[in-house]
């Protein structure tokens, strides 16, 4: 599919109710929800879609429940997503099959394109290939927020009653809000991934293969069309000592008990910035941060899209309130709501990631999974049960 055509930003209105920066799951769902409620939304994305991004491509029950709550229950299946029925967990040389009761696999290229189209169909104006930079608060009786759009050599200033920053992990767009800063956790792992041809591994459809090693983990899943999505989190030390992502991936697969993949050096690897990070504060004058832009924890449990989509749902009532009248209470309320719906869930993943790094932890996990696979399966389903904010407002 060719990239979405690129409209000229100079032709667009310069005053908006809401400008959303970033069209990943968080930004696209927020734009969709607001446009459906009659809000004038501009969704700005720096890349051309469809685009691939490093991600395990597995939608958790939380992510699926959030899509359903947004009226997009059919979206994943319509794009060729399929149910994940089994996890093959490899730890310390032992591979154990674990039944999965829920979850779907869909490539990020398809998912993100479909969400962007849903936002557009709901009435949001979409600009791809355009970078957005947050500006200062605009002077006036009820100062608005300024956003600078950069499209090739063209620049355009627009203003909005509310700006939503959903620009992902590195979100280099916050120059206009110097009070907001990101703290990267010490020893944070980095993400890496690529797409492999269908015949690269004999991985059945509906099976998620997860290899856990001392220096990180590797997840493989077959997506629509048969290709294999490969996503990893690596310690930097392992990346260096293995000569790069391809070597680190094969090291972890072998340590976990899986056979090697065909040579991966020529694959189109993409690497991410350090994964585990916290950004604070999560709000400012006419400004809320959503999704990974608000903080992230390394993706062992595959919850990132669920957190991103949930944060968009949780923000909707506040954005609608802020369109009528913005006050500091909205900023405080967003920090509280984000903590309730996202940060609290991330705390468990952060703790699990830390535990798994302790000497002997892989062996303990190996023992539990190997001897009690049905208990492990029930625990996983319990931990993945969805919980959603009310969005009827």
Ligand X SMILES: Cc1cc2nc3c(=O)[nH]c(=O)nc-3n(C[C@H](O)[C@H](O)[C@H](O)COP(=O)(O)OP(=O)(O)OC[C@H]3O[C@@H](n4cnc5c(N)ncnc54)[C@H](O)[C@@H]3O)c2cc1C
Q: Which residues bind ligand X (CB under 6 A)?
A: 21-27, 44-47, 53-58, 60, 63, 131-132, 166-168, 171, 173, 191, 193, 231-233, 272, 275, 291-293, 299, 302-306, 308
Residue 49 backbone zone (phi > 0: left; psi -120 to 50: alpha; other: beta)? beta
End-to-end Cα separation, the chain, in angstroms = 37
Among candidate residues 166, 180, 108, the one with its CA nearest the CA of residue 132:
166
Residue 169: CB minimum distance to ligand X, A: 6
Beta strands at 82-83 and 86-91: parallel, antiparallel or unpaired? unpaired
Nearer Cβ to ligand X (9/56): 56
Residue 259: CB minimum distance to ligand X, A: 21
Q: For residue 314, what are its two tokens?
A: 């949780």
Are 131 and 46 a contacting pair, CB within 8 Å? yes
Nearer Cβ to ligand X (100/166): 166
Are 60 and 302 a contacting pair, CB within 8 Å? yes
Nearer Cβ to ligand X (24/213): 24
Residue 343: CB minimum distance to ligand X, A: 14
Nearer Cβ to ligand X (233/253): 233
Number of Cβ within 10 Å of residue 88's Cβ equals 19
Residue 47: CB minimum distance to ligand X, A: 4
Are 6 and 46 a contacting pair, CB within 8 Å? no
Nearer Cβ to ligand X (203/364): 203
**Contacts by residues 1-6 (CB-CB < 8 Å, ≥ 24 positions apart):** 1/50, 1/113, 3/48, 3/49, 3/50, 3/51, 3/128, 3/129, 4/48, 4/49, 4/50, 4/113, 4/116, 4/126, 4/128, 6/48, 6/127, 6/128, 6/129, 6/130, 6/151
Nearer Cβ to ligand X (244/370): 244
- What does 107-142 look like in DSSP terms, one character per residue? -HHHHHHHHHHHHHHHT-EEE-S-EEEEEEEPPSSS
Nearer Cβ to ligand X (135/306): 306
| Total count of residues recorded for the chain | 393
Residue 325: CB minimum distance to ligand X, A: 27
Residue 62: CB minimum distance to ligand X, A: 8
Q: How far apart are CA 117 and CA 7, in angstroms?
A: 15
Nearer Cβ to ligand X (188/376): 188
Residue 58: CB minimum distance to ligand X, A: 4
Residue 111: CB minimum distance to ligand X, A: 9
Residue 252: CB minimum distance to ligand X, A: 12
Nearer Cβ to ligand X (180/233): 233
Q: For residue 152, what are its two tokens?
A: 């090739």
């Amino acid at each position: 599919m060719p990239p979405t055509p690129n409209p000229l930003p100079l032709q667009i209105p310069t005053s908006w109710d809401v400008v959303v920066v970033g069209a990943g799951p968080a930004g696209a769902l927020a734009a969709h929800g607001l446009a459906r409620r009659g809000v004038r939304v501009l969704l700005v994305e720096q890349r051309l879609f469809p685009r691939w991004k490093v991600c395990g491509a597995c939608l958790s029950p939380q992510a699926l429940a959030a899509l359903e709550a947004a009226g997009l229950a059919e979206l994943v299946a319509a794009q060729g997503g399929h149910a994940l029925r089994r996890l093959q967990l490899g730890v310390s040389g032992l591979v154990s099959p674990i039944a999965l009761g829920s979850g779907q696999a869909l490539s990020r290229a398809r998912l993100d394109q479909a969400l962007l189209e849903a936002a557009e169909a709901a009435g949001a104006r979409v600009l791809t290939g355009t970078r957005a930079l947050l500006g200062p608060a605009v002077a006036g009786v009820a100062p608005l927020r300024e956003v600078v759009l950069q499209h090739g050599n063209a620049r355009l200033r627009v203003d909005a009653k509310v700006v939503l920053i959903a620009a992902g992990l590195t979100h280099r767009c916050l120059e206009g809000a110097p009070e907001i800063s990101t703290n990267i956790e010490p020893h944070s792992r980095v993400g890496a991934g690529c797409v492999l041809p269908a015949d690269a591994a004999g991985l059945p459809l509906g099976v998620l293969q997860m290899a856990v090693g001392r220096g990180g983990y590797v997840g493989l899943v077959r997506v629509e069309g048969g290709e294999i999505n490969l996503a990893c989190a690596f310690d930097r030390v392992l990346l260096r000592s293995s000569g790069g992502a391809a070597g680190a991936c094969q090291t972890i697969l072998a340590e976990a008990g899986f056979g090697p993949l065909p040579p991966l050096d020529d694959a189109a690897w993409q690497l991410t910035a350090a994964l585990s990070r916290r950004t604070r504060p999560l709000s400012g004058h006419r400004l809320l941060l959503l999704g990974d832009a608000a903080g992230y924890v390394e993706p062992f449990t595959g919850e990132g899209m669920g957190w991103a989509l949930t944060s968009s749902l949780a923000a909707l009532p506040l954005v609608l309130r802020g369109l009528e009248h913005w006050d500091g209470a909205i900023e405080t309320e967003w920090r509280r709501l984000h903590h309730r719906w996202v940060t609290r869930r991330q705390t468990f993943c952060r703790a699990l990631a830390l535990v798994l790094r302790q000497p002997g932890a892989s062996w303990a996990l190996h023992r539990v999974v190997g001897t009690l696979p049905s208990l492990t399966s029930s625990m996983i389903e319990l931990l993945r049960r969805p919980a959603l904010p009310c969005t009827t407002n």
